[in-house]
Amino acid sequence: MAIASPTRQDEFDTGRLRQAEAEFLETHPGFRETAHLDELRKTEYARLDACGDVYLDYTGGSLYAASQLEEHMRMLQERVYGNPHSVNPTSSSATILVEQARAAVLRYFNAPESHYACIFTPNATGALRLVGESYPFAPGGQFLATFDNHNSVNGIREFAHTKGATSAYVPLEAPDLRVADGLLERYLDASSTKAHNLLAYPAQSNFSGVKHPLEWIEAAHERGWDVIVDCAAFVPTSRLDLSVWKPDFVPISFYKLFGYPTGIGALLARRPALERLHRPWFSGGTVVAANVQGEKVVPLSGHALFEDGTVNYLGIPAVEIGLRHIERIGMDAISARVQALGRWLLDGLKRLRHSDGSPATCIYGPTNWERRGATIAFNFLHPDGRPIDERYVDRVAAEHGVSVRTGCFCNSGAGETAFSISKDTLIGAEFTEGMILDDYIRLVGLPTGGAVRVSLGLATNFADVYRFMAFAERFRDLTEVPSDLPLRLAC
Ligand SMILES: Cc1ncc(COP(=O)(O)O)c(C=O)c1O
């Protein structure tokens, strides 16, 4: 928890804030239609203002409403729930709630149960691992990914290589960090149609906020490809309708949608694609029967084949509570709100200048509000154009109660493009065991340890973005940073 300090109070100039908000409302009249979120901020999310936190790391994790916790605690206190792998009364009570939550997830994404399965996992990474380890990669096949995937998607290439398939990456174009028109289709066309091919891309980049076309799903299907659309960073502020868009595999983490509970995600899988997966092992919970002497296994089917051991049966019912909370607010209101506030913030960061007129920021990704979400990656710049060390930004942010993310956000390829690191440099570099991130940065010649990322979500209000811009002013005309910054250990 951040401790309110006199400095912060000074900065929080209520009069100027009110005036800025009035001007903002004049240029964004539709914002008033999201006023119910300002009310919720005072009740459900009151702890933000009570603690004086400016929370702008919603792509890292969303925030929960107080009522989500209350409803979940009430539920746990009123009944007895046992391990669902049984038929006794307390076990059945747990099973009912888990299955109710599963149905609620499918309903929320408008995914007919006959077409999609909802598999509960520990997080989006767990969902991706299920696909990676079970996908029928084979020689002649390919794992294709855009540069801006999260490392939990990039890791799938290891499964592909182990089974003799190749991997390839579709590059991004700087400075917008999008894929050039027609390029993805060229990569898709270049593959053999005889083996299984798997495409993976994020619906929204967790680095740049770019929203890639969902039309790519159909383009890939027409060419016989299976498709993972990583929606972990997309669904917290955008509607995903699986009756319109039909990707084969969709990984998500629920804490990114509504903050609580952590430790639960899902793989939404199109049933015909799910049938193509072959699990590399079996476990408790995934079999009808398994014997020891004959070493035979009768596997379960559908979601049950993929849920290893005991699911988080006390936590999963809180997913349904979270979904109801989002539905009451309305995803359209959340989208409209983060779009208006994000646009104001992006314009403010673009306009930030040093006294000599030179730019005080460098934005990575689109600098307008077309086909992008409310995640903005950038660096503050010294007046001579060098990026300001992100560790110093972290230090000043902590002093001001500002929570943002710095680094490369587990998104290596977007970082490589944003910082112009060439393939030759990366192939030529000798990576050794025991290296820390600082060694890596020196070796590949990164100009900085990473970017600063601000990301907006359902509880963001105008005061948050205003206070962030007041904080950003601190970096104007800054020529040097202190030399006692901590070592960077890992990304
Ligand atoms: C786009 C994207 N994919 C996958 C993940 C991994 O999510 P988790 O750490 O919850 O498994 C993240 C996390 O930030 C993400 O932003």
Cα–ligand 1 centroid distance for 125 (angstroms): 6
User: Is the backbone peptide bond immediately before 486 cis, with ω within 30 degrees of 0?
Assistant: no
- Most informative mutation of 62, 240, 253, 375 for ligand 1 (most atoms within 8 A of CB): 253
Tell me the pLDDT of the chain (491 aa) as tens digits.
343 444 555 555 899 999 999 999 999 999 999 999 999 999 999 999 999 999 999 999 999 999 999 999 999 999 999 999 899 999 999 999 999 999 999 999 999 999 999 999 999 999 999 999 999 999 999 999 999 999 999 999 999 999 999 999 999 999 999 999 999 999 999 988 889 999 999 999 999 999 999 999 999 999 999 999 999 999 999 999 999 999 999 999 999 999 999 999 999 999 999 999 999 999 999 999 999 999 999 999 999 999 999 999 999 999 999 999 999 999 999 999 999 999 999 999 999 999 999 999 999 999 999 999 999 999 999 999 999 999 999 999 999 999 999 998 999 999 999 999 999 999 988 888 899 999 988 888 888 889 999 999 999 999 999 999 999 999 999 999 999 999 989 88
Active-site hit among 231, 408, 410, 491: 410
Measured from the Cβ of residue 486, the count of other Cβ atoms closer than 10 Å reads 9
Verify whether ligand 1 is closer than 6 Å to residue 206 (CB atom): yes
- For residue 27, the one-letter residue type is T
267 C-beta closer than 6 A to ligand 1: no
**Assigned token pair, 332:** 């359209």
Instruction: Please give the single-letter amino acid code of residue 87.
Output: V
Does residue 209 line the site of ligand 1, with CB under 6 A?
no
* Nearest CA residue ID for atom 2, ligand 1: 232
Predicted confidence at residue 449, as pLDDT, reads: 87
Number of Cβ atoms within 10 Å of the Cβ of 91? 17
Query: Exposed, middle or buried by CB within 10 Å (0-12, 13-18, 19+), for 14?
Result: exposed
Tokens found for residue 432: 């050794």
| CA distance linking residue 450 with residue 306, whole number of Å | 36
Does residue 125 have its Cβ closer than 6 Å to ligand 1? yes
Atom of ligand 1 nearest to the CA of 409: 14
**Token output for 148:** 């801006």
CA dist 35 and 183 (Å) reads 42
pLDDT digits (tens, 9 = 90+) for 130-155: 999 999 999 999 999 999 999 999 99
128 CA to middle of ligand 1, Å?
A: 10
> What is the DSSP track for 371-390?
SB-SEEEEEEB-TTSPBPPH
Q: Is the CB of 202 under 6 A from ligand 1?
A: yes
In whole angstroms, give the CA distance from residue 289 to residue 471. Answer: 60
Report whether residue 373 contacts ligand 1, using a CB cutoff of 6 Å: no
Cα 150 to middle of ligand 1, angstroms: 7
Taking Cα atoms as reference points, which of 349, 322, 292 lies closest to residue 466?
349
- How many angstroms separate the alpha carbon of residue 366 from the centre of ligand 1? 21
Ligand 1 atom nearest residue 255's Cα: 10
Measure 291 CA to ligand 1 centroid, in angstroms.
37
Between CA 361 and CA 94 the distance in angstroms is 52
Q: Which two tokens stand for residue 45?
A: 């999310």
Ligand 1: residue of 59, 146, 148, 152 to mutate (most ligand atoms within 8 A of CB) is 152
Active site annotation includes 408: no
Residue 121, φ and ψ in degrees, nearest 5: -135, 170
pLDDT digits (tens, 9 = 90+) for 238-282: 999 999 999 999 999 999 999 999 999 999 999 999 999 999 999
Q: Count of H helices and E strands in the chain?
A: 20, 15
Nearest CA to ligand 1 atom 12: 232
346 lines ligand 1 (CB under 6 A): no
How far is ligand 1, taken at its centre, from the CA of residue 146, in Å?
Answer: 15
pLDDT at 28: 94
Q: Token pair of 184, please?
A: 């993805």
- pLDDT at residue 61 in the model: 98
Residue bearing the CA closest to ligand 1, atom 7: 124
Of 228, 405, 410, 491, best ligand 1 pocket probe by most atoms within 8 Å of the beta carbon: 410
> How many other CB atoms are found less than 10 A from the CB of residue 477?
14
Residue-level pLDDT at 458 = 98
pLDDT at 1 (0 to 100): 37
Q: Looking at residue 12, what is its pLDDT?
A: 55
Say if ligand 1 is within 6 A of residue 417 CB. Answer: no
